[in-house]
Amino acid sequence: MSDEKIHITRRGLMLVLSSPSGAGKSTISRALLEKHPDLTMSVSATTRPMRPGEVEGKDYFFMDTAKFEEMVAAGEFLEHAKVFDNYYGTPRGPVEAALKEGKDVLFDVDWQGTQQLSQNARDDLVSIFILPPSVEELERRLYARAQDPEEVVKRRMAKATSEMSHWAEYDYIIVNQDIPLSVSEAEAILAAERLKRERRIGLAEWLRGMGVGQ
C-alpha cells in the first residue's frame, strides 16, 4: 500500500553539504539537484550588489543593509554572516514553506553556518561533511583547477585544515575518492533520512486506525 493511499505525508528536510574548497562539494551538489527534482537549492539573501546575469530570487535575494539588519533583529534568518563588507544569510520563511510542503532543501554553507542551522532548526537538519582522500589530493585538485594563483591555493590549503577539524560536528562523513560513489552515498543518506519516523506525518494516526497504540 502506498503512502498516498494511507495518507502518510512527509515533512521536508534541510540537507547541508560542507567541505573545504576542492573536496568536491559543488560537484556532488549539482549531481543531487539534477537527479532529484524534489530537492531544491536554498537561496540566500545578500547585501552585495547584483552582478550581471544574476536573477532576484534565483541567485540571491538582494537587499540593502538596513533591511538585512532588520530581518536579523526579527529572527528571520536561519543563519547569517558578514563576509568582508557584505552580509549573507538564509531567510527562514521560504525554507519553512518548502519543508511544510514536503520538499527538501539543499544548503551550501560552512561549519559556522551549519552550527547556526543546528541551533535554529536541529530537527529538520541533516549535515554531511565532504572530506578529500588526502591533503595531497586536495592540493592537487586545487592546482588542477587552474583558477587561482599559487598564493590563493596556499591560503585555501591553510583554511582547509581548520575547516576539516570540525568534521565531528556533522551527522555524516563522505570521503570523496570517487564522485559517482560519493553521490550514491549522499543519495543513500537522503533516502534513509526521508524515511525517518519523525518526518512521517500521519503515521501515528494511521497506526491507531489499525488498532496499534503507543
In a domain? residue 52: no
**Position 34 pLDDT exceeds 90:** yes
d(CA 7, CA 1): 10
**Number of domains comprising the chain:** 1
Is 62 within 8 Å of 86 (Cβ atoms)? no
Domain range for residue 196? 9-42+103-209
In a domain? residue 159: yes
d(CA 153, CA 122): 34
Q: How many CB atoms lie within 10 A of CB 75?
A: 9
pTM equals 0.86
In a domain? residue 57: no
**What CATH number should be reported for the domain holding residue 118?**
3.40.50.300
What digits encode the pLDDT tens for the residues 166-207? 999 999 999 999 999 999 999 999 999 999 999 998 888 888
Complete DSSP assignment for 167-195: GGGSSEEEE-SSHHHHHHHHHHHHHHHHT
In a domain? residue 48: no
In a domain? residue 193: yes
In a domain? residue 131: yes
In a domain? residue 73: no
In a domain? residue 139: yes
d(CA 148, CA 156): 10
Q: Using the structure block, give the residue that is written with the C-alpha cell 565531528.
A: 168
Report for 19-23, 128-132, 137-141: range of highest mean pLDDT: 128-132
What digits encode the pLDDT tens for the residues 36-75? 999 999 999 999 999 999 999 999 999 999 999 999 999 9
Alpha helices in the chain (DSSP H): 25-35, 65-73, 92-100, 111-121, 135-145, 150-164, 179-194, 203-209
Q: What is the pLDDT of residue 1?
A: 47
Backbone torsions φ then ψ of 124, nearest 5 degrees? -95, -5
156 CB-near residues (< 8 Å, 6+ apart): 20, 21, 22, 142, 148
